[in-house]
Chain A
Amino acid sequence: DSGVTQTPKHLITATGQRVTLRCSPRSGDLSVYWYQQSLDQGLQFLIQYYNGEERAKGNILERFSAQQFPDLHSELNLSSLELGDSALYFCASSEQGSSYNSPLHFGNGTRLTVT
């Protein structure tokens, strides 16, 4: 058990809809990362937050947004959903703001299916 909790485990929704994915980091970890894993794109980094502030941005679409709250949990909001957004979305946390010597601890992911 990594200590990172993601909810829900599965989400099925229709195109055009909006969903929110939630992540609780491991106790003591200040950084939260969001990744998208799809069969054709592999593991894509979306965004990182550190202690409530955005730290780094990857290949995140404008239709997607995220935030980290004072209690350090994070939410990833996906809107105007398209079929191609169907994927596994992982949250990971780490102790520090830099991943240089602070490995990531991954949750079990949220599987999003857009129909």
Chain B
Amino acid sequence: GNSVTQMEGPVTLSEEAFLTINCTYTATGYPSLFWYVQYPGEGLQLLLKATKADDKGSNKGFEATYRKETTSFHLEKGSVQVSDSAVYFCALTYNNDMRFGAGTRLTVKP
């Protein structure tokens, strides 16, 4: 079946540090891949997406590249801010089957 595995949190970083949150997937075909972000007290918001191999999704300084050879979609940001503190979810969809990872809580300290 389809599934997503992302690195366990929590992750705590200082402001301006480099962020990587690992995400790998298992799918029977070629899924679309997403990163969603959930700020405290809110629902999930789409952060970025990629629909085919080697696509790079980017938004608000965050990037992730769809790597078919390693079945990965790692989230990166070069310099995090306190306002990036949130829970990040990796997700895939294939044949209308959408799966979310367990979420990674990021805390950025000033």
The one of B45, B98, B102, B103 in contact with A106, judged by C-beta atoms closer than 8 angstroms, is B45
Are A108 and B96 in contact, with the CB atoms below 8 A?
no
B54 CB → nearest A CB, Å = 17
Residue of A nearest to B89 (CB): A43
Taking a contact as CB atoms closer than 8 A, the residue among B43, B95, B96, B97 that contacts A107 in the complex is B43
Select one of B36, B42, B97 contacting A56, CB under 8 A: B97
B89 touches A100 (CB 8 A): no
Please determine whether B96 and A98 come into contact, CB atoms closer than 8 angstroms. Answer: yes
Counting chain B CB atoms within 10 Å of each CB, the highest count among A4, A43, A97, A106 belongs to A43
A interface residues, tally (CB under 8 Å):
23
On whether the beta carbons of A99 and B98 are closer than 8 Å, the reply is: yes
What is the bound-complex CA distance between A79 and B34, given in angstroms? 33
Known contacts A42-B103, A43-B103; A97/B96 CB under 8 A: yes
B73 within 8 A of A: no
A55 touches B43 (CB 8 A): no
* Chain A residues closer than 8 Å to B32, beta-carbon distance: 99-101
A103 touches B49 (CB 8 A): yes
Cβ contacts under 8 Å, B102 to chain A: 42
In the bound complex, do residue B96 and residue A100 qualify as a contact, i.e. CB atoms below 8 Å apart? yes
Task: Please tell me if B51 contacts chain A, counting CB pairs below 8 Å.
Answer: yes
- Decide yes or no whether B46 CB sits under 8 A from chain A: yes
Check B93 for interface membership: any CB of A closer than 8 A.
yes
For B51, the closest partner residue in chain A by CB is A101
A4 touches B43 (CB 8 A): yes
